[in-house]
Structure 1
């Protein structure tokens, strides 16, 4: 990415940071309290000692610690066609989608390329293979979406013929899970094994609810390393499906399914809300709903966040400022919660978004207010950029967000650079010799 482009994005982020600081100063202390949790949960100390060739401490050496990649996955869904086209084009033209993705995210979900019907279409399968391999070369955390999506509209049409033959249908689904996970073993980091089990119950009505745990067992046998997730909508956004979803997850736990995390989609669809009976939630309400999910005892992934209007006559219509507020609240709620292990948005550009209203960019690549929030938090406030000088003992210490960093030490003409990984629960101890 062009350095001038990065500088421009960070300038926007800094402007948003100043706006947020004013908001907190005006009395909004929920985010301030969340930030205190983040400081404890998401940061560890880096301890540096700088010596000369004779082993003597070097005082007053200039030190800079700069983050290069978060350990926490901040990801996005990518449209298969948009990604495939953009990955081969110049960044100042059709390739901008690809360039922006590489700059802003360290995680990706293929919107449709890993779904069952797509994998049975040779051209789609070949495209999916290329995209998956490209994403793995970029080193991003890759989510596989999805193995079982239990409504007829999300299954290959031929399966409808097996509606009256449960055992044949059972075998088809089990074989699909096994074949798909084996085919992408080592390339997919996380699988949505079961998507929207409350919203789409066709398969479980035919095969029985106990079959859900079997799909997880098959996936685990096919890839013992991949994280296995169940995923559903309207859990903490509107809260409409929270209680039935908790019941489904408890059933999976009771059935000894190898379930590694609970997926919370987090689509904020305006028509789901009503100003009187179910208003858009505050940060506190989001936290309380998330706490109910956390009580299950499993890690949580925010898997499909976005905010959009879907019906012009709905009683709630989100403005750009509403979209920004909800984005800020969701990021703070998620990143400050000890059970949350990933945050994915469902597309970042209006030109490749299922509702033409992505959280970050308009169709002509203007940064939205919600995009400024994302840039401020993910690439500024929660992005290590520390500097200072060593003391008389040659020591320098800084608090850093978990992830990969570049450490540069300079004194006069002497310079040394080290790569530093900051992990949870331990200090990163580094010794640098300036020759």
Structure 2
């Protein structure tokens, strides 16, 4: 059995080639029999009949079929090469695709693999995204990874589970190549189906890591120092008797009741308004672990019937009664696929369309005024721009103004994905987001915050790179909030490690004011693998990380005794506190807030 090859680049990219009785070598285009199980070939490597080069910017690429050179392994006999220019707008604008030739059933154990080599690029590495997705809207994916290869052949084996069932031709395996300027060679791409005969652990593994995962990585001590400086402050307490005289030797304790930093989650409306045992458990876990919420779907313009206005009102009342503030998501998501059909019917009537969209933004913000802390005014403008294509990009600033008219007290955020979850590469998505925010500011839009979603797969961005991205957007002088964090991977330890490191990194940055995860329970999560809790409510390892950080590591429960001047200083995280004073069998309880800067509280003990 060959020894695993491990190559850690900016993204970790490594195929480990053995599992069970595997009889294969680098790039073998045939089937891979494992533990005497021969898989069905869903997609084979046939450049003449199976694979196609596609994409909206394919005409900008040069596609050739080079011969194998002396550095090419014998197993690779058929190669496709793509010369790709810079400034490609989307990674899928140039791609290889192949439809599934045999059926896939939900839950099937699949193995995707391909070989790649960089011929030329700006940094010596070539990039490719691999995905199994529905062959049409909404292109939902069972797997999606971005990988890179140096200037020698690398082979990648990627085991995963099918998220849905597909008859032949209903799904496609794609290799997305529209990244930076690069010349890349691809060979031996395929998809094998082991159905229910093998589990993921039986298949060749990919060992993933991320820069900075090491326990002694220098960024850790630096982050802790920033947290101590940025997230905590002193509370000076002076205790006197009822005549105003200092009271020495009084016991003083402070307990953090509500963290100033947002540790929130998306919620399913049904979990709040329904009353099954699971719904009651859902609300119990919610109250224990989060201090802020956002509805996952209920407030979207096209919410697919998930929630009526009356149900939303009932949910908002319960959340208010339980001291759980709610942020609004989303006033306008400007792509046709997420806009009601009757509105799309107005696409040839721009003025009526403009009026309807403005009314949606203004009236929705107004309806919930006083019950929503802040709004995502606009969502995902990089990929959803149908309204701007018709009404003009200047309309974006108008949506922010309409939101302000509807609720002048709720801060207004822009929100997009692909900003933090881009691995180590600067991307066109980041550049577009930066330009869009600058445009809004230049046009006088009342924008108050920057939302970054944070949906991660196996492509985990290292802490130091995260800080670079945050610094880039912090230059706008607006608060940054992670609005939809989750990690959709099956390696539970890696998931837990990255949860801790991601949260620590973000908590240590001065511009970040909160982290909201995109759901917490397996049975009410858009990506069940990413949920904190299993279907039976047992916590997964990254749930324990979340709890340890917010209930222990970043929680304050301190006590001390006053000096002869009746004074004591206690240090705690910013937030709201209960202060308890005890002296000579007398006890009193008080409320206090620790804010950044100097905090002084004088208490008279009767």
Taking structure 1 as the reference length, the TM-score comes to 0.85
Pick from 167, 184, 193 the counterpart of residue 368 of structure 2.
Answer: 184
- In 2, Cα distance between the equivalents of 1:69 and 1:242? 33
Contact 2:480 2:512 in 1 (8 A): yes
Pick from 113, 127, 146 the counterpart of residue 298 of structure 2.
Answer: 113
- Match of residue 49 from structure 1: 238
Contact 1:307 1:323 in 2 (8 A): yes
Pick from 349, 353, 356 the counterpart of residue 172 of structure 1.
Answer: 356
Pairing of 1:39-188 with structure 2 (within 5 A): 39-85=228-274, 88=275, 94-118=279-303, 124-188=308-372
- Could you say what secondary structure the match of 1:38 adopts? helix
- Match of residue 43 from structure 2: none
- In 1, Cα distance between the equivalents of 2:240 and 2:452? 49
- Match of residue 424 from structure 1: 596
- In 1, Cα distance between the equivalents of 2:378 and 2:215? 44
Q: RMSD of the alignment, in Å?
A: 2.1
- In 1, Cα distance between the equivalents of 2:213 and 2:342? 56
Contact 2:298 2:306 in 1 (8 A): no
Pick from 304, 326, 342 the counterpart of residue 484 of structure 2.
Answer: 304
1:378 aligns with 2:550: yes
Q: Deviations over 1:348-373 (max 9, x none)?
A: 12121111134522221222221122
Pairing of 1:189-268 with structure 2 (within 5 A): 189-238=373-422, 240=427, 241-268=429-456
- Match of residue 563 from structure 2: 391
| C-alpha deviation, 1:167, in angstroms | 1.5
- In 2, Cα distance between the equivalents of 1:66 and 1:149? 41
- In 2, Cα distance between the equivalents of 1:35 and 1:164? 55
- Match of residue 219 from structure 2: 30
Judging changes above 3 Å, is the alpha-carbon distance between structure 1 residues 26 and 101 closer, same or farther for their aligned structure 2 residues?
A: closer
Judging changes above 3 Å, is the alpha-carbon distance between structure 1 residues 385 and 94 closer, same or farther for their aligned structure 2 residues?
A: same
Gaps of 5+ in 1: 1-22, 274-279, 310-317
- Match of residue 471 from structure 2: 291
- Could you say what secondary structure the match of 1:245 adopts? helix
1:319 aligns with 2:480: no
Judging changes above 3 Å, is the alpha-carbon distance between structure 1 residues 72 and 26 closer, same or farther for their aligned structure 2 residues?
A: closer
Judging changes above 3 Å, is the alpha-carbon distance between structure 1 residues 363 and 204 closer, same or farther for their aligned structure 2 residues?
A: same
Q: Deviations over 1:123-148 (max 9, x none)?
A: 62221121122222333231110011
Judging changes above 3 Å, is the alpha-carbon distance between structure 1 residues 24 and 415 closer, same or farther for their aligned structure 2 residues?
A: farther
1:364 aligns with 2:536: yes
- In 1, Cα distance between the equivalents of 2:564 and 2:327? 48
Judging changes above 3 Å, is the alpha-carbon distance between structure 1 residues 285 and 52 closer, same or farther for their aligned structure 2 residues?
A: same
- In 1, Cα distance between the equivalents of 2:442 and 2:602? 49
| C-alpha deviation, 1:25, in angstroms | 11
Q: Deviations over 1:359-410 (max 9, x none)?
A: 5222212222211221111121111111121122221111111111011111
Pairing of 1:336-351 with structure 2 (within 5 A): 336-351=508-523
Judging changes above 3 Å, is the alpha-carbon distance between structure 1 residues 94 and 115 closer, same or farther for their aligned structure 2 residues?
A: closer
Q: Deviations over 1:222-243 (max 9, x none)?
A: 2111010000001011264211
Judging changes above 3 Å, is the alpha-carbon distance between structure 1 residues 264 and 201 closer, same or farther for their aligned structure 2 residues?
A: same
Query: Moved runs in structure 1, 4+ residues, more than 4 A?
Result: 23-26
- In 2, Cα distance between the equivalents of 1:227 and 1:46? 29
Segment of structure 1 superposing worse, 142-151 or 126-135: 126-135
- In 1, Cα distance between the equivalents of 2:452 and 2:303? 24
- Could you say what secondary structure the match of 1:357 adopts? helix
Pairing of 1:270-289 with structure 2 (within 5 A): 270=458, 273=459, 280-289=460-469
| C-alpha deviation, 1:89, in angstroms | 5.7
- In 2, Cα distance between the equivalents of 1:228 and 1:127? 24
Contact 2:246 2:566 in 1 (8 A): yes
Contact 2:241 2:605 in 1 (8 A): yes
- Match of residue 314 from structure 1: none
Q: Deviations over 1:272-328 (max 9, x none)?
A: x3xxxxxx221111111111111222211110000004xxxxxxxx51112112211
Contact 1:24 1:32 in 2 (8 A): no
- Could you say what secondary structure the match of 1:322 adopts? helix
Taking structure 2 as the reference length, the TM-score comes to 0.62
Q: How many correspondences in the alignment?
A: 391
- In 2, Cα distance between the equivalents of 1:160 and 1:434? 66
- In 1, Cα distance between the equivalents of 2:249 and 2:529? 50
Name whichever structure is richer in helix by fraction: 1
- Could you say what secondary structure the match of 1:396 adopts? strand
Contact 2:334 2:387 in 1 (8 A): yes
Name whichever structure is richer in strand by fraction: 2
